[in-house]
A and B are shown apart, each in its own frame.
Chain A
Amino acid sequence: DQQVKQNSPSLSVQEGRISILNCDYTNSMFDYFLWYKKYPAEGPTFLISISSIKDKNEDGRFTVFLNKSAKHLSLHIVPSQPGDSAVYFCAASAWVSGNTPLVFGKGTRLSVIA
């Protein structure tokens, strides 16, 4: 049973427009959420995170929103650029004793069209 779900395997967006990637989770103990970006033949790269005490975190063009009641988070990229084309993974953990394992979604492939 998947605890972190990314229901859209792919997304295409025009350059300059907003990209919205979605993620749902089932474990109410999760309190730390991250987004990773992955290019082909490379490892996932950390992008942005949010703890459960916040509902929004912003870093440049990237903003993560957390809706705890809906167990939903989203990543907004504005404006989208061709270099943003990659697979995006949502991940979550329950901080009990420190570095608890991350549970990953299966990813969403974003294509930004010039």
Chain B
Amino acid sequence: DAGVIQSPRHEVTEMGQEVTLRCKPISGHNSLFWYRQTMMRGLELLIYFNNNVPIDDSGMPEDRFSAKMPNASFSTLKIQPSEPRDSAVYFCASSPTVGVNQPQHFGDGTRLSIL
């Protein structure tokens, strides 16, 4: 079975540029989560969706960050404009049907470096 697929695996860009991270959740999973991992703050939840609808975006650090889920099989996290402090590993995770405790399944992450 295919797991959560993230692209690109690595992204290096100059500050001020727009960055788009992509995620394909596991088929049949109704919940999707975006996390950011840094040395200082560990794994932080940025935003999560249930059935393609954003439920909680309180973790999104600034208006420069936005996320969309146009359909059940695709989500994007966009940073515009990017800044050096956005450098981190960004993970996408998905989990099955709402209503029961289920573990989240993570992709392998996108390592983002803003120069």
Contacts and interface: CB of A to CB of B under 8 A. Distances in A.
Contact of A41 (B43, B45, B95, B108): B108
B108 A43 contact: yes
A49 B101 contact: yes
A34 B106 CA distance: 14
Interface size classification for chain A: 20 to 34
B99 interface: yes
Interface stretch (A57-65, A75-83, A100-108): A100-108
A99 B98 contact: yes
A45 interface: yes
Nearest to A106: B42
Contacts of B102: 99
Contacts, number: 56
Interface string A47-78: 00101000000000000000000000000000
B14 interface: no
B50 interface: yes
Given A98-B50, A99-B95, A101-B33, A46 B105 contact: yes
B101 A43 contact: no
Given A43-B91, A46-B104, A49-B101, A102 B50 contact: no
Interface of B: 4, 30-31, 33, 42-43, 45, 48, 50, 56, 91, 93, 95, 97-109
30 contacts: A32-B101, A34-B103, A36-B106, A41-B108, A42-B108, A43-B4, A43-B91, A43-B107, A43-B108, A44-B43, A46-B103, A49-B101, A89-B43, A98-B31, A98-B99, A98-B100, A99-B30, A99-B50, A99-B102, A101-B33, A101-B45, A101-B48, A101-B56, A102-B33, A102-B45, A102-B104, A103-B45, A104-B42, A106-B42, A106-B43
